[in-house]
Amino acid sequence: MASHRRPKPPSRTRVTLLTTAAAAAVAFSANSANAAPSEKPTKDEVKSKVDKLYEEAEQATEAMNGAEEKAGKLQKEISTIQDNVARGQDELNQLRDSIGLAAAAQYRTGTIDSSVQLFLSSDPDSFLDRASTQDQLSAQQVEALKKIQEKQRQLAQQRAEASAKLADLSSTRAQLAKKKKEVQGKLADAQKLLNSLTAAEKAALAEQDNRASRDAGERVDLGNVGSASGRAGAAFAAAQTQLGKPYSYGATGTATYDCSGLTSWAYAQAGITIPRTSESQANIGTRIYNVNDLRVGDLVFFFNDLHHVALYAGNETVIHAPRTGTVVRYESMSTIGGPFMFGVRV
């Protein structure tokens, strides 16, 4: 006889899981149907993001420039110390040779030179004092031995100084490499965003930049450029000759420039050496906080951390190397992208 057992009903837990899964599937399907497709960022949105990346890249660039400048100074200092150590070692060897000759002469006569005892002594200073008091050494030998001891101390100090500076140089170079990588990463991200634009959108952005620069240039022509005087005027005139040169991070001319590279080059043409970075350039002259008090050729600083510098061109405009993808150009101070902090009269 066949079995007529009723099938075992599903457990309450299993029913709950199946019901929950089904509800989730329905909800997901409904949300997927109603979700709006992701929209491509507009040209202006891309420009805003790219400008921000360029600003961050310029911040890193100025830090990189500072590390590079410091590395160069450290390398020169280390070279000077190493040269001094080499000369000091030669002098020490000569002093030792003179003592050695005296010792050899006394050895041939069967006596033990006191200078040899000095080198074997565990306390050379005390021995030197006793030997001198007891007339065991000639005045000339005492003087030579004192010179040897002083030269040894000097060399030890110089070698320690060189070692410390070498460690600092290694750290600075590591920082330089890190900042360079950071700059390259920011620029790569900006380029990806720009590549998402159509050719027409890229052309529109380029024309927008060019138009702003032309407008600023016209304002410069109307401004009182004659207010520039002396070396500031010469620096400004030098910068004008570089209009149209491309921006390149870390560059100091004359093919390409970054912001502080242009200003330091321009003042160098006027016979004035100023520091390499914008932050350092902010501390070299008289600060001017009122735009109305600026004169053509003054250095002008932007952003709270002073990572951008330009040359004042009159009528609230500047000449500067703005950022990657641009050239040395005139620009209104109101369109720099960061607040005016102050000017510096060199």
| CATH number for domain 43-109+125-194, candidates 3.40.1360, 1.10.1060, 1.20.120, 1.10.287 | 1.10.287
308 is catalytic: yes
User: Using CA atoms, how far apart are residues 116 and 99, in angstroms rounded to an integer?
Assistant: 9
Which value, in Å, is the radius of gyration of the alpha carbons in the chain?
A: 37
Q: Which of 308, 312, 321, 342 is catalytic?
A: 308
Nearest Cα residue to 61 out of 327, 335, 321: 321
Half-sphere exposure of 53 (CA within 13 A, CB side): 21
Sheet with 299-302, edge to edge strand ranges: 286-288, 340-345, 299-302, 308-314, 317-320, 329-332
| CATH number for domain 224-345, candidates 3.90.1720.10, 3.90.550.10, 1.10.579.10, 1.10.40.60 | 3.90.1720.10
CB atoms within 10 A of CB 336: 18
User: Using CA atoms, how far apart are residues 282 and 59, in angstroms rounded to an integer?
Assistant: 15
- The two structure tokens encoding residue 125: 């200073």
307 is catalytic: no
Domain ranges of the chain: 43-109+125-194, 224-345
Place of tokens 């951390």: 305
Place of tokens 């993808």: 325
Q: Which of 165, 245, 307, 320 is catalytic?
A: 320
Burial 41-67 (b: 16+ CB within 10 A, else e): eebeebbeebeebbbbbbbbbbbbbbb
259 is catalytic: yes
Q: Which of 78, 235, 259, 288 is catalytic?
A: 259
User: Using CA atoms, how far apart are residues 202 and 212, in angstroms rounded to an integer?
Assistant: 16
Per-residue pLDDT of the chain (346 residues; tens, 9 = 90+): 444 444 455 544 444 434 444 444 444 444 444 444 457 788 889 989 998 999 999 999 999 999 999 999 999 999 999 999 999 999 888 888 877 665 555 555 555 455 555 554 555 566 555 555 445 556 767 777 788 888 889 999 999 999 999 999 999 999 999 999 999 999 999 999 999 999 999 899 888 888 888 887 877 754 555 566 789 999 999 999 999 999 999 999 999 999 999 999 999 999 999 999 999 999 999 999 999 999 999 999 999 999 999 999 999 999 999 999 899 999 999 999 899 999 999 9
The DSSP result for 119-167, as a single string, is HH-S-HHHHHHHHHHTT-S-HHHHHHHHHHHHHHHHHHHHHHHHHHHHH
- The two structure tokens encoding residue 253: 């001319």
The DSSP result for 152-206, as a single string, is HHHHHHHHHHHHHHHHHHHHHHHHHHHHHHHHHHHHHHHHHHHHTS-HHHHHHHH
Instruction: State how far Cα 165 lies from the chain centre.
Output: 18
